[in-house]
Structure 1
Amino acid sequence: MSGIRWRLPALVAALATTTGLAVAPAQGAEPTGQPHVNAAGVTLGYFVDWGVYQRDYHVKNIETSGSASKLTHINYAFGNVTNGQCAIGDSYADYDRFYDAASSVDGTADTWDAGALRGSFNQLRKLKAMHPGLKVIWSFGGWSWSGGFGQAAANPAAFADSCHDLVEDPRWADVFDGIDIDWEYPNACGLQCDTSGAAAFPNLMSALRQRFGPDDLVTAAITADGSDGGKIDAADYGGAARYVDWYNVMSYDYFGAFDADGPTAPHSPLTSYDGIPAQGFNTDAALQKLQSKGIPASKLLLGIGFYGRGWTGVTQAAPGGSATGAAPGTYEPGIEDYKVIRDRCPATGTVAGTAYAFCGDQWWSYDTPETIRGKMSYASDHGLGGAFFWELSGDTRDGELISAMRD
């Protein structure tokens, strides 16, 4: 998830070998091998390709903010899914945009030589050279581009072949260490509704694991709807878990001004609380439900939003008040980056492990360094693999939120 609703920790540790889950295989081809790592110690952040335009956020900013040294993984968002295949999302931003010496992460300008790689892909290549342990994963789909997964699921092997060919294209094969699937949502509704069936997701992930093999990362961003009969129950995430290195559990966007009249509620509650508008819409409920389906905690990453969601026309400081619509946002009504909202509407309280703010007639919810530290304690106490966040450009210039995650 992002400002346009693309759905969209622990200290770094050595990644250990795992044999996967003892669950029944999905229908279709068996993988050639199980994932080679577990998610122990993962601190992952999303970098969005459109951020280089209006947001003016580039790979260099990951370095100058100090964030690069605190990350173990970056998800590059997004590649498209169309005609049953993986496809480039934005060719100019991805591999063609020219970076001069001043804007390049390593101070060396791009070249126009035939076959030379430019754009964010080349900048990520340079960032990895500066931080040899850093891994980059190419994420496909997201809120706006998940409509193609239904067709892809009809022929998982062909889809996997197309993704492998694109991720391992010789021009940038060294940039990427694997693939991430952000399908919103298998056998359920997001921007569009999918009717592929519960087995479609494990079949797709099985095909990807078989094609990418045991040494590449294969991950997925998944729903955090912990309600009875909700999106977690609609797809066989448990059956697919044996094929993935980890799941990015999107534990944010539970509530917001997409319900224009409220009630006001934090968009990323860690736990339930008295008066929460919907049962099961909290991080703990989602993580507990996923584990009940046989997914080990070590394969689950807790999601953090580096942004807030807000309403206007609010008269009540505490959660649960009525509203008249979405509060103004820089890129979209009802959403604002943390680096902006922390000063414009400072936090006035906390509820369910996250912060909220009441200023004038506006009511916002967002995570602060303090609430993030609480969520990281939860992740550690419950044996989670780590945490991830959406997305890098929402943080402050000095990486205030990612520093709290790393702390």
Structure 2
Amino acid sequence: MMTTQRRGRIAAVVVTTLAGLLASLGPAAVADEAAAEHWGQSQRRVGYYTQWSANQFGYTVNKLVSSGTAGKLSHLNYAFGNVSEEGKCFASSTAGLGDAKADYQRLHTAAESVDGVADKPEQALAGNFNQIRKLKKKYPNLKVNISLGGWTWSKYFSNAVLTDASRKAFVKSCVDLYLKGDLPKLDGLAQGGQGAAAGLFDGIDLDWEWPGAAGAPGNVVRPEDKQNFTLALVEFRKQFAELSWRTGKHYELTAFLPAGAATLDAGIEVPKVFRLLDFATIQGYDIHGAWDSVTNHQSAIHAPDNDPTPGKLDLDQVIKDYLDRGAPRRSLVLGVPFYGRGWTGVTGGGNGLFQPATGCAPSTHECGYLNYNKIKQLPGFTLHRDPKAATGWLYDGNTFWNFDDPVSIGAKTRYIRQQKLGGAMVWSLDGDTDNGELFSAIHRGLS
């Protein structure tokens, strides 16, 4: 039970902190290192665990334990929560809108469970959420944030942040659903109810792809998204402060932000945004893919001199774009892919790099996309590397897969340390091997 005296102290702290943040959003605001350190920054090791990891890849939450990865994570982002056309966070069991069964309804057997205890039909919380709760109990320093949106579910963010009223309603719906844990009971099942997931999530990660710029076909995009994104972050901070007053807990606010100066400038007020976020994860992958007609590195630190792409975007330029606009180094967490991008019908000879292709390489998950643990098992390919790019590729004379492995991850973590960035983020944990070799490379490189 929180005493009145302690509650008063907490209220004073959160009000003072919020007032300082809001005051900093004036036109003369500069996001400097001191502002970033306000939130007690440290090297971060962030991993995304997806709603579909277990169903599509057999990667249940307990594999984070058996692989050794759980003890190396600082943050686990659960992907994704959806936003409705009306601009609200919601849970659903309707295909394409949500997967409540995976999230909090599916009963795990003892063999699938983090603690070896099977779920019971009558318990209020099951599914991935319950397993993550058990994971947090086993690893009490682990922070878990719910990530909203993603490539597929960013369609209605613009609606959610359009007006002051819509922003208030949007944030309240997300706080109620995920931070207070008020999950709806669906499909006649016992799971859900007021407070069923209370305390599970330590914050909210916004993965809006992208404010003010095109993402997936059909996304709602408005010119005012840029300013409204900032205002939405202010509203999240306000409502987080109110909740902190009651719980005594700091709730994290993070975001996944884009690569490419044009997309960045269209939707992100960099100094203002970084004063409101605990940190941001930066897109460090999908720079190239089978949507390009020529093979390339999807995640190069430095683009090779003979890269034929106009502009030659690479990770070093992505980071410079943020620094040039006022982002604090320690608030930038660089994304690292645990998957590869592939092309087929590659002609032109040589090692296959920068050669024309007819299309995306076949894959059981998504054409042109393959998890590292599958790429590692491909037969009949020759491995090539480019130390400058800090990435590798496989080529068999027809099909080309570009990917990161422990060697390239070692180079990327050195870059992160040299640039004094805030850590590394990976998409996504289900792409790793059973013994967690990729995340172990992240951990070693940042230690």
**Partner of residue 190, structure 2:** none
* Count of aligned residue pairs for this structure pair: 379
Equivalent residue for 1:251, pick from 284, 294, 308: 284
Aligned mates of 1:23, 1:270 — CA distance in 2: 33
CA displacement at 1:247 relative to structure 2: 0.6
Please name the residue that 2:303 is paired with.
272
CA distance in 1, matches of 2:40, 2:364: 38
> Which AA in structure 2 matches 1:104?
S
When normalised by structure 1's length, the TM-score is 0.88
**Which structure dedicates a bigger proportion of its chain to helix?**
2
Q: Which aligned segments of 4 or more residues in structure 1 are displaced greater than 4 angstroms?
A: 17-23, 33-36
Q: Is the contact between residue 298 and residue 383 of structure 1 (CA under 8 Å) also seen in structure 2?
A: yes
1:305 maps to amino acid: P
Q: What RMSD in Å do the two structures reach over aligned CA positions? A: 2.2
Aligned equivalents of 2:61 and 2:159: distance in 1? 33
Contact 2:416-2:423 at 8 Å conserved across structures: yes
Listed as ranges, the matches of 1:7-86 within 5 Å are 23-25=24-26, 37-82=39-84, 83-86=86-89
1:215-266 C-alpha deviation (Å, 9 max, x unpaired): 100000010114xxx101112233211110011101100111122xx21101
Is it true that 1:195 corresponds to 2:229 in the alignment? no
Gap runs ≥5 in structure 2: 1-16, 28-34, 92-97, 182-194, 245-249
Give, as a single letter, the amino acid of the residue that structure 2 aligns with 1:85: K
Indicate how the Cα distance of structure 1 residues 208 and 21 shifts in structure 2: closer, same or farther if over 3 A, else same. closer
Where 2:376 maps in the other structure, the secondary structure is helix
Deviations 1:121-163 (A, max 9, x none): 0000001111111110000000001011010111222211111
Q: Distance in 2 between matches of 1:36 and 1:99?
A: 40
Distance 1:245 1:181 in 2: 12
Q: Which residue identity is paired with 2:334?
A: L
1:118 is aligned, of 126, 134, 139, to 126
Larger Rg: 2
Q: Which of 167, 172, 178 in structure 2 is aligned with 1:161?
A: 172
1:342: Cα distance to partner?
A: 2.0
In structure 2, the partner of 1:29 is none
Report the equivalent of 2:426: 389
Once the two structures are overlaid, the 10-residue window that deviates more, 192-201 or 33-42, is: 33-42
Identify which of structures 1 and 2 has the higher relative contact order when contacts are C-alpha pairs closer than 8 Å and 6+ apart: 1
- The residue aligned with 1:109 is 118
Structure 2 SS opposite 1:98: coil
Aligned to 2:370, which of 317, 322, 336? 336
Distance in 2 separating the partners of 1:125 and 1:145: 25
1:42–1:73 Cα contact (<8 Å) kept: yes
Q: Does 1:216 align with 2:258?
A: no
| Conservation of the 8 A alpha-carbon contact between 1:142 and 1:183 | yes
Is 1:242–2:282 an aligned residue pair?
no
Contact 1:354–1:365, Cα closer than 8 Å, also in 2: yes
Q: Supply the AA of the counterpart residue of 1:320.
A: F
Q: Which amino acid aligns with 1:46?
A: Y
Q: Are 2:147 and 1:145 equivalent residues in the alignment?
A: no
The whole-number CA distance in structure 2 between the counterparts of 1:248 and 1:274 is 27
1:38, 1:299 within 8 Å by CA — same for their partners in 2?
no
**Contact 1:96 1:117 (C-alpha < 8 Å) held by counterparts:** yes
| 1:211 partner letter | Q
Q: What is the deviation of 1:20? A: 6.5
**Aligned counterpart in structure 2 of residue 134 of structure 1, from 117, 134, 142:** 142
Q: Is the 8 A contact 1:94 1:119 kept in 2?
A: yes
1:273-317 deviation per Cα after TM superposition (whole angstroms, max 9, x unaligned): 223314262111111111111110100001000000010111331
Shift of 1:347: 2.8
Asked whether the 8 Å contact 1:373–1:405 carries over to 2, the reply is yes
Cα 1:193–1:39, aligned 2, differ >3 Å: closer, same or farther? farther
Aligned partner letter, 2:384: T
User: What residue identity is the alignment partner of 2:103?
Assistant: D
For 2:239, what is the secondary structure of its paired residue? helix
Query: Map of 1:284-299 to 2, 5 A cutoff?
Result: 284-299=316-331
Contact 1:250–1:302 at 8 Å: present in 2 too? yes
Contact 2:159 2:220 in 1 (8 A): no
